[in-house]
Amino acid sequence: MTAPADEVVRVEHLNKQYETAAGPQPVLKDIDLVIHRGEFVALMGPSGSGKSTFMNILGCLDTPTSGRYVLDGNDTAQLDSDNLAGLRNRFIGFVFQGFNLLPRASLMDNVALPLIYASVGRREREARAVEMLAKVGLERYTDYRPNQISGGQQQRVAIARALATRPRMILADEPTGNLDSVNSHDIMSLFRALNTDDGITIILVTHEPDVARFANRLVNFIDGCISHDGPVEDHLGAAPEYAPARTAAGSAVAC
């Protein structure tokens, strides 16, 4: 399939259900969504609304029960496991709530880890790891271990690791969930800079309105349906003074 040049994600009539002892349990219901290159999208919704399951499908970590997911013009249902893994590793960087750093490895080695799976040579791995640590303001800490730096700095290392493969899209699942408000603001400012300065498409899951306000667009899930898709302000109200300016995207939809 040939996708429009600015289209990164296309989801059509996507459904996901899990089999339980009580019968099929629907989690996502007939989801349609398009995300364009360079957008910054926040996914919100109460626990059990389906947003995390949807994020896992976007990251090719789970598959839909039915419907279609096209990533960068590739129909993911048509790819075997090797090609799907290759697309995921080449196109997507992941940032999670838990920093998931190797405690006994240096920060440089932590950041370089995804490049081993990409078969990048050692010298290039180390050079790129240093480059990415510099990008997140930690170039002086290459030889430190994770327990020698703060939680906010550890999340910066996790972001540097996600950037190491030079992905075109970052998926962030509650990236500020373990941070205080000051560090949360700093991390979200970093995501905003990666979006505006580097053009990286960012999709993040959050429960926090102040975090979601850094995005340009908000997609809200309720009971497996999209209840809102459009400007953040339309759903959350006016932004605090520190949040960046936004542009309108999408429109309100009914579930």
Residues 85-117: pLDDT tens digits? 989 988 999 999 899 999 999 999 999 999 988
Closest residue by Cα to residue 208 from 191, 188, 234:
188
Is residue 68 included in any domain, yes or no?
A: yes
How far the first Cα of the chain sits from its last, in Å, is 28
Beta carbons within 10 angstroms of residue 72's beta carbon: 18
- Identify each DSSP E strand in 82-168 by its residue range: 92-96
Tell me the pLDDT tens digit for each residue of 136-173: 999 999 999 999 999 999 999 999 999 999 999 999 99
- The confidence score (pLDDT) of residue 247 equals 41
Q: Rounded to whole angstroms, how far apart are CA atoms 168 and 225?
A: 27
Is residue 244 included in any domain, yes or no?
A: no
Tell me the pLDDT tens digit for each residue of 42-62: 999 999 999 999 999 999 999
Say which CATH number the domain at 36 has: 3.40.50.300
Diameter over CA atoms, the chain: 55
What residues are paired with 11 via a beta bridge? Answer: 33, 69
How many distinct structural domains can be found in the chain?
1
**Structural domain boundaries, residue 78:** 7-100+168-236
Q: Is residue 22 scored above 90 in pLDDT?
A: no
The three-class DSSP label of residue 113 is helix
Closest residue by Cα to residue 144 from 132, 152, 153:
153
Q: Is residue 77 scored above 80 in pLDDT?
A: yes
Say if residues 91 and 129 touch (Cβ distance below 8 Å).
no
Is residue 24 included in any domain, yes or no?
A: yes
Q: Rounded to whole angstroms, how far apart are CA atoms 170 and 128?
A: 18
Q: Rounded to whole angstroms, how far apart are CA atoms 147 and 248?
A: 41
Is residue 105 included in any domain, yes or no?
A: no
Q: How confident is the model at residue 246 (pLDDT cuts 50, 70, 90)?
A: very low
Closest residue by Cα to residue 110 from 79, 138, 89, 70:
138
Mean pLDDT of 213-236: 93
Q: Is residue 132 scored above 70 in pLDDT?
A: yes
Tell me the pLDDT tens digit for each residue of 184-201: 999 999 999 999 999 999
Q: Which residues contact 74 (CB under 8 A, 6 or more apart)?
A: 1, 87
